[in-house]
Amino acid sequence: MATGSGSPAGVISGGAGRRLLLGLAAAAPLTGQGRAQGPSPPWPARSLRLVVPFAPGGPTDVMARVVSQGLTGALGEPVVVENRPGGGGNVGVAHVARSAPDGYTLLVTSTGFVVNPSLFRNPGYDPVRDFAPITELGASPNVILARPDSGIGSIAELVARAKATPGVLNFANPGTGSTPHLTAELLRLRTGIDFVQIPHNSAALAVQSLLGGTTPVGVTALPPAHAQIKAGALRALALTGEARWPDLPDVPTMLELGYPGFVSETFQGLLAPAGTPAPIVERLAREVKAVLTAPTTRDRLLAAGFTLRPEGPEALATRIAREVPVWRELIRQAGIPQE
């Protein structure tokens, strides 16, 4: 992979008007939402599946289970989480893309959904053509971590260690193509350091690798590492959000540390197969918003490291369309080959 010090000019960010990584302009909203006039027969009449394309325990799985519980009560039918890991998330995503557009098989996925078409020659789906966006669920900054006994207490010390021993330092991430993986590549580009990326099958396993001493440093989304940071079992060197996290006031952002534009988020979204009737999409968006804005649920997820954004189909469509070319350009700059 490339180890140059070229500097991407912008950021990844979810809100309207925010700066974009590499300075790419926002693309047009997606058009995959179904155009049917109404569901027939009445919906829902049986249980629903929320397919998560990752192993249990990561932030996407956590979010899916919160949504599942809330929707079960709101819809009056069981809403079951089904984990279908494999292929960097492609297996589960492609399964939903091929499913009937009847509102009974839905996808809860993360930023890898928009990354993988640039990482894989044939991911098995098109993020624009094959899906009807329902709503973004939440987002979180990524966090650069070190074990307390690693001797690395800051980004400056991490950079110094990596420059002193190029190509030696092992760097844990939740999987190839994940936002944390690409955040580490952005760090490589911005600092000129070289290290060994150690991918895992989930964020939980990446955190366990750090806790167990297999890897001294790593990057994950904030939620799976949040409790370990609070307990002192892991040291947060920096966050990749635009501001410090409320209950981690001593952890700086990469922006504060002198890396302009170094902002990246991991987001979760809810989608249906393309052609799903618009009334189903619209009802799901309403019900999910009610679930995530309920005070107890909202407070629990915020405390775990999520920012909640149940803003509906158009907002998610716009984000997906914007981020596909953004990540493609970062992958190109980093020299990551397609699989």
Domains annotated for the chain, with CATH where assigned, are 21-140+267-334 (3.40.190.150), 141-239 (3.40.190.10)
Token representation of residue 106 = 């839905």
Average pLDDT, the chain: 89
Token representation of residue 228 = 């370990």
Query: What average pLDDT score do residues 7-25 get?
Result: 38
- Amino acid 21: pLDDT: 40
Residue 205: phi and psi, rounded to 5, are: -70, -35
Residues near 295 by beta carbon (within 8 Å), at least 6 away in sequence: none
- Amino acid 40: pLDDT: 64
- Amino acid 293: pLDDT: 95
Specify whether the CB–CB gap between 152 and 158 falls below 8 A. yes
pLDDT band at residue 236 using 50, 70 and 90 as cut-offs:
very high
Query: What average pLDDT score do residues 266-276 get?
Result: 97
pLDDT band at residue 17 using 50, 70 and 90 as cut-offs:
very low
Distance from C-alpha of 52 to C-alpha of 49, rounded to nearest angstrom? 9
Specify whether the CB–CB gap between 152 and 161 falls below 8 A. yes
pLDDT band at residue 28 using 50, 70 and 90 as cut-offs:
very low
- Amino acid 192: pLDDT: 96
What pairs with residue 269 in β-bridges? 109, 136
